[in-house]
Amino acid sequence: MILQKTEKINRNRLNNIPNFNEQTKEIILKYLSIENEYGYALREMSAKLENLDDYCQNHFDHNPIHHIESRIKSPESIIEKMIRRGYDLTFESLRKNIYDIAGIRVICKYIRDIYQIIDLLISQKDLKVLLRKDYIANPKETGYRSLHLVLSIELYIGNEVKTVPVEIQFRTLAMDMWASLEHELRYKSKNNLPLSDQEALKQYSEDLYHVDTEMEKIYVSTTKGVKYNGI
Ligand code: GTP
Ligand code: MG
């Protein structure tokens, strides 16, 4: 199942972008002319993930992926990130530095599903790993857990081959529940959660991780722990 959230900008909304000026307008207009490349990358990468899920169902009687969400980053967020990170405000710098324009979130059932799906995915020759951040093995200070991959995918755009980066966040259902609610709480508190709440949230992330690993043990003992990446 693919849930797609598109944040496509209406060209008339350009004037409402914070920090909107001639320089940002030029970048955004150039970006809008190639935005479709990120859409194609999202579609092809999502198809690969769905196919892998299907393959696992056919061969191992298990669907590792619970669901997939995807989105294209809005021009507003792209400009905001470039300013926040202090990148040059040029189209070339956008192409080079912003690798999460095409973003996919893959919500898996068990932690082992995440590592096994990733092994299968990155063995595909039209993909290259640009970045891997394992916040499951090394959670963030907040308690955030997920595994982030940035992959480049080779695409035919018309008759040209291009490589386009896609960011994929892999997490379990429990990690997704935590991240969604924590994100909303942080937003509602305007990034000003009391320390005691921050500590409580970190503890709940630990508690959910414990539930994840214990439920996985039951799954492994029930299914004799089938591994579908051949390792
Ligand atoms: P961005 O500039 O936000 O894209 O950060 P980054 O490129 O340094 O990447 P990072 O590895 O920090 O991951 C960024 C993304 O991970 C965010 O957009 C969130 O979706 C998610 N994320 C990272 N940390 C947290 C956290 O503490 N809580 C929640 N809820 N989500 C987080
Ligand atoms: Mg990001």
List per-residue pLDDT tens for the chain, 231 residues long: 556 655 555 566 666 666 678 888 889 999 998 999 999 999 999 999 999 999 999 998 999 999 999 999 999 899 999 999 999 999 999 999 999 999 999 999 999 999 999 999 999 999 999 999 999 999 999 999 999 999 999 999 999 999 999 999 999 999 999 999 999 999 999 999 999 999 999 999 999 999 999 999 999 999 876 666 654
Ligand 1, closest atom to CA 183?
Answer: 30
Check residue 73 and report its DSSP letter.
P
Assess whether the C-beta atom of 182 lies below 6 angstroms from ligand 1: yes
Supply the residues annotated as catalytic: 167
Identify whether 206 is part of a domain. no
Identify whether 215 is part of a domain. no
pLDDT score for 194: 97
Q: How far apart are CA 113 and CA 107, in angstroms?
A: 10
Ligand 1, closest atom to CA 85?
Answer: 2
Any idea what the CATH number is for the domain that residue 139 is in?
3.30.460.10
Identify whether 226 is part of a domain. no
CA distances from 61 to 55, 156, 222, 227 (A): 9, 33, 13, 11
**Residue 31's domain spans which residues?**
2-173
Check residue 228 and report its DSSP letter.
S
pLDDT score for 231: 45
Neighbours of 137 (CB within 10 A): 10
Report which protein residue has its CA nearest ligand 1's atom 7: 100
Identify whether 187 is part of a domain. no
Judge contact between 183 and 62, C-beta under 8 A.
no
Neighbours of 26 (CB within 10 A): 13
For 63, the 3-state DSSP assignment is coil
Identify whether 109 is part of a domain. yes
pLDDT score for 109: 97
* pTM given for the model: 0.91
Identify whether 135 is part of a domain. yes
Residue list, CB under 5 A from ion ligand 2 = 100
Identify whether 213 is part of a domain. no
Q: How far is the CA of 10 from the centre of ligand 2 (A)?
A: 22
Counting the structural domains of the chain, the total is 1
Identify whether 115 is part of a domain. yes
